[in-house]
Amino acid sequence: MSKITAADVNKLRQSTGAGMMDCKKALVEAEGDFEKATDILRKKGQKLASSRAGRAANEGVVLSKTNEAKNKAYAIMLNCETDFVAQNQDVIDFANTILELAVKKECETMECLKSHDLNGRTVEESITDMVGKTGEKMELSVFEAVAGEKAFAYTHPGNKIAAIAALNKADIQDIDTIGKDVVMQIAAMAPVAISKDDVSQEIIDKEIQIGKEQAQQEGKPEELLEKIAMGKLNKFFKENTLINQEFIKDNKTTVGQMLQKADKDLTVVAFKRVSLT
C-alpha cells in the first residue's frame, strides 16, 4: 500500500470538504486511490443520512438574494440539527452556494433547484455529502421565489429570518429605500398576506371561530358573538396584512400609505417570509 501523506489528505479535503481524519481514513481504506476515497466519503454521507432520517432538524441557515436585474428574489432554508453546525462557516457558505445556483438558474420550484448540478453532483446529492461532513441530518426544507418590476431581499443578522418582496413599479424616487423598508417590515412583523383580500378563507374561518369562542368565554350574549367575532377579524386584518400594518418606522402611517406617498399606484405584488422561529 502506498504511503498516505499529509499532502494527500489535504488534497482530498480540499476536493470534498470532509474532515481531515475522515479523509485520512478514506485514503487508507482506498489504498491511496483518490477516486475510491471520494466514493467512500460519499457513501459515508449516504449512510449517515439514512441513519439520521428520523432526527429533528430544527436549526439551520436562512438566506435571501436578488438576481442581477433586481426583478426576482429568492430565499432558502437549509436545516440541520444544532445551532453549532448552523453557525459553521462552511455550512453557511454551502447554503450560499445553493442560493446562488437558484439565482443563476432562475429556479421556480424546489424540485428544479434540487436537481441542478453543483460541482458535479446534484444539489440533493451535495446535501447528502454535507451530512457526511457535519455528522448531522441536513435538508433543504424551504425554497421561495418572487418576481415583479423590482424585487428586494433581506436576511436578518444571524441567518434565522429572511424576507423577499416584489413591487409593481421600479422607476420611482427612493425605490431602493422603500423596498428595503418593505422587506424589513415583513421580516419584523410577519404579515400573513398583502391585503385582506389575499387572506385565505381557511384563516378567516379560523379567526372568526377564535373570536366567537373568546367572546363566549367572556360571557357575551349569544346573539352578539358573530358581530364581536367580525370586529376581531377586522382587527386581525389590520395587524396581519402587510399594507394595513402600522409602518415600523412611523406608527402614524400604514405600509400602504407609505407606498402611496411615493406613488399612488405603488404596491407589493408578492412576498415571502422564511423563518426558523
Asked if 131 contacts 79 with a C-beta cutoff of 8 angstroms, the reply is no
Integer Cα distance of 225 and 235 in angstroms: 15
**pTM across the whole model:** 0.80
Q: How many other C-beta atoms lie within 10 A of the C-beta of residue 115?
A: 14
Q: What is the DSSP string of 6-18?
A: HHHHHHHHHHH--
Name the residue among 95, 247, 113 with its Cα closest to residue 186: 247
Integer Cα distance of 61 and 85 in angstroms: 9
Question: pLDDT value at position 37?
Answer: 72
Low-confidence ranges of the chain (pLDDT < 70): 1-2, 9, 12, 15-19, 23, 26-27, 31, 40-54
Q: How many other C-beta atoms lie within 10 A of the C-beta of residue 159?
A: 21
What letter represents residue 84's amino acid?
Answer: F
Asked if 233 contacts 242 with a C-beta cutoff of 8 angstroms, the reply is no
Question: pLDDT value at position 34?
Answer: 74
Question: pLDDT value at position 146?
Answer: 98
Question: pLDDT value at position 223?
Answer: 86
